[in-house]
Structure 1
Amino acid sequence: MAEIRIRKTDERIAGEANVRAFLERQNVLYEHWDASKLPMELRNKFSLTDEDKSKILSTFETEINDLAGRRGYRTWDIIALSESTPNLDELLKKFEQVHTHTEDEVRAITAGRGIFIIKGDDETGYFDVELEAGDVISVPESQPHFFTLMENRQIVAVRLFIEPAGWVAQPFDDPAFV
């Protein structure tokens, strides 16, 4: 289950209802899917074949179609990151810079753990959303954020897009980032 850490105060927010309410106030969509639906052989597999990716997408087909229908997403894929990912550290450096997009950034975590660092309202400032299997998040377009891995450095997620080409990061230079 997702957990939030507010960077200014180090306050932590836990529990699905509390996390959902906090994120709703920050205009961030949060949902939770049943990760136990995923076949056992894929729950801790972070180097995926095309067949594995297809199995994950078909396992969550109902949830993906529901979310896409409600939010206008037209295409989706799987991203898998782990120590076996070529040039992982270089790839993470690209992710680990505050940026915005012209559409929502959506991730449905199916395995592993990751963290979104998001700029909230003026009172809140930046906060971390620690995600694990089953957590679904949509950071709104134009909201400054970035994504990285947590200490285990392993994640598999469904990504959903409005534009078939996917999103492009626009750097966001923010001296307030802490």
Structure 2
Amino acid sequence: MAVIRVRNSGKVVDGQENVHAFLECQGVFFERWDMGKLPENLVEKFDLTDEDKAEILKSFDEDIRSLAERRGYVNWDVIALSEKTPNIEELLKKFEQVHTHTDDEVRIITAGHGIFIVKGDDETGYFNIELEAGDVISVPEHTPHFFTLMDDRQVVAVRLFIDTDGWVAHPYEEKEHTI
């Protein structure tokens, strides 16, 4: 279950209802999916073949299509990051730059953990959303954010896109250092 840590106040938000309410106030979509649909051979597997990725998409096909229909997504895929990922350090450096998108950024965590750092309203500032398997998040378009891994450095996520060209990051410059 996701946990939120507000950077400027140290406030911690946990529990599904509290997390959902906090994120809704910040314009971030959040829900939980049943990970019992994931085949046992893919639970906590981070070095995925193309066949494994296809199996993940098949396992959650109904959920993905429902979310896509509700929110206008037309394209999806699976990304897996771990110590076995070629050029993991370079990828993480790219992900860890504050940026925005012209589409919302959607992730369904199916294994492992990840952290989205999102710029909230002026009072809240930046907050961490610590995600685990079953967490579904959509960071709204034009919202400054970045992504990183937790200490275990392992995550598998389904990504959904509105733009058929996928996900394009646009650098974001803070007026003052607030991260």
The TM-score with structure 1 as length reference comes to 0.99
Q: Flag structure 1 segments of 5+ consecutive residues without an equivalent.
A: none
Q: How much does 1:176 deviate?
A: 3.5
Could you say which residue in structure 2 is the equivalent of 1:118? 118
Amino acid of the residue matched to residue 177 of structure 1?
T
Could you say which residue in structure 2 is the equivalent of 1:21? 21
Could you say which residue in structure 1 is the equivalent of 2:59? 59
Provide the secondary structure at the position in 2 that maps to 1:113.
Answer: strand
Taking the aligned partners of 1:176 and 1:30, their CA distance within structure 2 comes to 27
User: Which digits, 9 at most, give the CA deviation of each residue in 1:120-151, with x for residues without a partner?
Assistant: 00000000000000000000000000011111
Taking the aligned partners of 2:20 and 2:161, their CA distance within structure 1 comes to 22
Could you say which residue in structure 2 is the equivalent of 1:40? 40
Residue 91 of structure 2 corresponds to residue 96 of structure 1? no
Provide the secondary structure at the position in 1 that maps to 2:68.
Answer: helix
Taking the aligned partners of 1:49 and 1:95, their CA distance within structure 2 comes to 22
User: Which digits, 9 at most, give the CA deviation of each residue in 1:1-23, with x for residues without a partner?
Assistant: 00000000111000000000000
Residue 106 of structure 2 corresponds to residue 106 of structure 1? yes
The TM-score with structure 2 as length reference comes to 0.98
Taking the aligned partners of 2:144 and 2:12, their CA distance within structure 1 comes to 21
Q: How much does 1:36 deviate?
A: 2.0
Alignment: residue pair count: 178
Q: Flag structure 2 segments of 5+ consecutive residues without an equivalent.
A: none
Could you say which residue in structure 2 is the equivalent of 1:177? 178
Taking the aligned partners of 1:127 and 1:110, their CA distance within structure 2 comes to 22
Provide the secondary structure at the position in 2 that maps to 1:115.
Answer: strand
Runs of 4+ in 1 over 4 A off after TM superposition: none
Of the structure 1 ranges 21-30 and 38-47, higher mean CA displacement relative to structure 2 is found in: 38-47
